[in-house]
A and B are shown apart, each in its own frame.
Chain A
Amino acid sequence: MREAIRRWLATLGGSPALPLTLDRRRIFVLPTGPGLAFGCALLAMLLTAINYTLSLGFALVFMLAGLGQVALLHAFRNLYALKLRETVPEPVFAGQHAGFPLWLDNDASRPRPALQLTMAGADPVTIDLEPKQSRAVLLHVPTTRRGWLSPARVTLNTRYPLGLIRAWSYAKPAQRCLVLPRPEIDRPPLPATAAGEAGLRPRGDGSEEFASLRDHRAADSPRHVAWKTSARTPDAPLLTKQFEGSDGGDLWLDLAQLPATLSLEQQLSRLTGWVIDADAAGLHYGLALPGTRIAPSSGPAHRARALRALALHGLPT
């Protein structure tokens, strides 16, 4: 019964999209458990007042009843005209907590204390907003699988000021969080290149074959900048050294090269680990997945692109 009522209430609120300003129709109010207890106590007090004909007892009971009514409006007012918006969550590895950032903007010149945000699976977060303050709240949801994680509906609660009445409102964030595959923990070292050399080439051993220079891109590793050439022509843009893109020279992380005994998820997990390793080592690496090829490069943007491809591999978009 309770479940049915709650489910019905949950559908009642709808899932209004962000950004959102909480108005009259979006705020719901109901007594809390202590509020119901308060009501029962008032009834008992009223009966006592009637029975003993206590005029001041009546006054006390009516005052408390009025206080309950006022508490309802104060709880409502604590949410009323509050603005909610969202920003894009940072990608996380599966197993970590995805943090959905939600911004609360208090335009009013009064504080809004004890605002509680809950989301399915997330620990509730309680914040106090000062007058004219905007604050971001991260709702942390545990992740298990790679891919897109859609945020659930957010409930914004407040019991302030008396705890007898709960006012709440719903919002549905739209920004999904990218969950990357979990990096394999005891993963083998980076594979050797096709030429048989060790994948992890010591830096500056001279074996890489310098090919040409091209314009510097933001994603290029600073180690590959042609500092000397660039220094000679200070007005020209930075140049990046291009190395010979032979199969033997670049590290290719190829799904097809992995042992077939591993499941797809294990393979992706290993590749994810390798992408992290290769990036940490400052290597030039490419990623080959069935249907996707990312040309060898390096840098944070390249890493992000590779990880994203791994996260979404084989998943419907």
Chain B
Amino acid sequence: MKWRRTTAPRVAAEPLDQSRIAWLMAVAACALVPHGSHLPGWLIAVAALLFTWRLAQWKLGWPGASGLVKLLVVIACCAGVSLTFGRLFGREPGVALLTLMLVLKLHELRSTRDGHTVVLLGYFMLLTAFLYSQTPAMAAALGVSMTVITAALIALTGPPAAPRALLRHAAWMMAQALPFMLVLFVLFPRVPGPLWGLPLDAYSGTSGLSDSMSPGSISQLSLSGAIAFRVRFEGDAPPARDLYWRGPVLSAFDGRTWRQGSSAQRIGDGVPHTVPGRPLGYEVTLEPHNRNWLFALETVTTLPAGVRVSDDWQLFGRDGVRTRRRDRFESVLGARPGIEEWSGHLDAARQLPRDGNPRARQLAQTLRADSPADTVEAGLRLFRREAFVYTLTPPLLGDDGIDAFLFDTRRGFCEHYAGAFVFLMRAAGLPARVVTGYQGGERNEVDDYVVVRQSDAHAWAEVWLKGEGWRRVDPTAAILPSRIERGLADLPAGEPVPFVARVDLGWLRSLRHQWEAANNAWNQWVLSYDQQKQRELLSRLGMSQPDWRLMTIWLASLCALFATALTLWAMRRSVSADALARAWSGVDRALRPAGLGREAWEGPLDYAARIGRLRPDLAPVLSQACRLYADARYGAVPPAAATRELKACARALRRQRTPPRP
């Protein structure tokens, strides 16, 4: 049993010093504050209450929470969590329970081990904060939090010290850890996708186009300045008026709402028809919108692996887009696909409800012309000729919405125009469908990305013409051509233009471009740093064929390099003291050959006295050297100056050591 005592005693046995409780409270505060914005209100209240109670116990000497109280709190909160979220597992309930554990642990600080538990929970809470926000500001805030938690860890282990000194120490250690972090971040092989099924609530609150369109759905979206996706063109970006980003195609109409039809369900692996023309390559970085469709320019001809296309040229990924994703597409602009369209799809594109909107049906009969192309033209002429107003705040429409819009209100947004136009074409006997997506995009001069926002959401029509295929018709362009040329900024005066779409504030706009370019760089290189980006970067750094083996070798080598550098730093001695010792032993080396070396037990002054008796000729220099050394070592003389003089003395002694011949 003897050996057991030689090892260090267990940490758990060490009682927790009361002075460290302040640090653990700070850990809890740092870990909980970033979660304030998304935890349920009642939980925030419970956490704040428990925290304040602990604070009062520490500062005012209140009684602590008893075991029964803690048990009741746990039971009540677990019930609350399962009531709020409907379950106890998953992302949101998990964060809620972690919060609860952390504040309750504050009431159970007895040993150093409890302190370590609080610190580890704190680190974990920082990670979960990134589930909700990964902005640069959040990263900076959590960097500060991490410094505080690390300082708490030092406080748990080390002697009591001023908070400022501990924070500085923690920051210094983190600065030393930074190279490891960068190497690991760049070279750690990235695994795509989730490892296990994500809980359903993993991605909520994302906005974007939906799979149906009723009056008001797109105009609502248009008020949002949020970025839908960013595009980098290989070569020059085409003008904004040609940029139609195709999204959900709606071919089924029930009298009020447009929905996806049968053609959207037939999904193949390749493009359904060949499209003539010169393809344009570009890369789309899509923000998560939690649906599985992707956006590309009409008409797409080359797809990346894993992207499939339906018969009506909608693009689909395998799962909902839950994280930012990047795809490279090629498209031929202005192409008219589907010359040989399957008759089933054409029939579906002529379907109308049996009744409703009688006036529109009547109107459609008057539009019928000799050729289908003339019918389309007549329809467009109608919108151009009559006094239609393009507005973001259209009046509400009743049951026969198309009739009301065409004949009574005549005020509407793109979804009204596209819907009414397709209705008219179908009533006139032509296959037609509504296409939703985004139109246009704004080029950011700073980083040359084209940014497409939710405010660019748009709806247009497609009419199938025999011998020509699907022709894109944008009735909105007929009402307000500038909408297509320049976006929403040219809406008539008095319209609530989304703030980001205003053009009149030039400096603000350029500031915004700078900001968004920085954000995009952050997104592209930090947040979306995935397998593909990793390969790209490593190839650019000259690593041919970067695979995980090569990456691991590099990773290990670079980490070893940094570890070695740090080890050398750790083993660096105090140079000045060392130099002094060397100079001092130089004196000894100078005299040793003459049998006048210093004994191991001799102090410098004793040594000088002894040699002075033996060799009075050496006494002046040697006693000076010995006094120098003694003063530098034990006194206030700076070692650097003494070192120089000691060396001079050693040289002098070397010359004098052979006794002068009598």
Contacts and interface: CB of A to CB of B under 8 A. Distances in A.
Interface in A45-92: 45, 47-67, 69-71, 73-74, 76-77, 80-81
A56 B139 contact: yes
B130 A153 contact: no
A208 interface: no
Given A45-B124, A52-B131, A124 B6 contact: no
B596 interface: no
B164 interface: no
Nearest to B91: A52
Interface stretch (B169-177, B214-222, B605-613): B169-177
B322 to A, nearest CB: 8
A133 interface: no
Interface in A21-53: 24, 32-34, 37-38, 41, 44-45, 47-53
B159 A128 contact: yes
Contact of B124 (A41, A55, A120, A152): A41
A55 B526 contact: yes
A54 B134 contact: yes
Contact of A119 (B6, B113, B126, B131): B6
A114 interface: yes
Task: Select the residue from A3, A32, A55 with max chain B CB neighbours within 10 A.
Answer: A55
Interface stretch (B72-80, B179-187, B274-282): B179-187
A232 interface: no
A313 interface: no
Interface string B238-253: 0000000000000000
A277 B540 CA distance: 90
A32 B181 contact: no
A66 B113 contact: no
Interface in B520-550: 526-530
Contacts of B318: none
A308 to B, nearest CB: 25
B568 to A, nearest CB: 10
Contact of B185 (A62, A155, A161): A62
Interface stretch (B61-69, B304-312, B569-577): B569-577
Contact of B181 (A62, A76, A108, A159): A62
A198 interface: no
Interface stretch (A162-170, A177-185, A244-252): A162-170
Interface in B74-99: 91
A166 B325 CA distance: 44
Interface in B108-136: 112-113, 116, 120, 123-124, 126-128, 130-131, 134
**Interface majority SS (helix, strand, loop, mixed), chain A:** helix
A50 B567 contact: no
Interface residues of A, number: 67
Interface in B186-203: 188, 191, 193-196, 198, 202
**Interface majority SS (helix, strand, loop, mixed), chain B:** helix
A190 B245 CA distance: 113
B310 to A, nearest CB: 27
Contacts of B9: 118, 124
A121 to B, nearest CB: 6
B177 A70 contact: yes
Given A52-B198, A66-B184, A113-B158, A80 B527 contact: no
Contacts of A61: 127
A161 B154 contact: yes
Contact of A160 (B112, B139, B158): B158
A59 B116 contact: no
A160 to B, nearest CB: 5
The 5 closest A-B pairs by CB, nearest first: A66-B180, A66-B177, A77-B570, A163-B157, A62-B184
Interface of A: 3, 6-7, 10, 24, 32-34, 37-38, 41, 44-45, 47-67, 69-71, 73-74, 76-77, 80-81, 107-109, 113-114, 116, 118-121, 124, 128, 152-153, 155, 157, 159-164, 166, 168
11 contacts: A10-B6, A41-B123, A50-B194, A57-B130, A64-B123, A66-B181, A67-B174, A69-B563, A69-B566, A114-B157, A155-B8
Given A70-B566, A124-B8, 15 more contacts: A33-B11, A44-B124, A45-B124, A54-B127, A54-B130, A66-B176, A70-B173, A113-B159, A118-B5, A118-B6, A118-B8, A128-B159, A161-B169, A162-B154, A163-B112
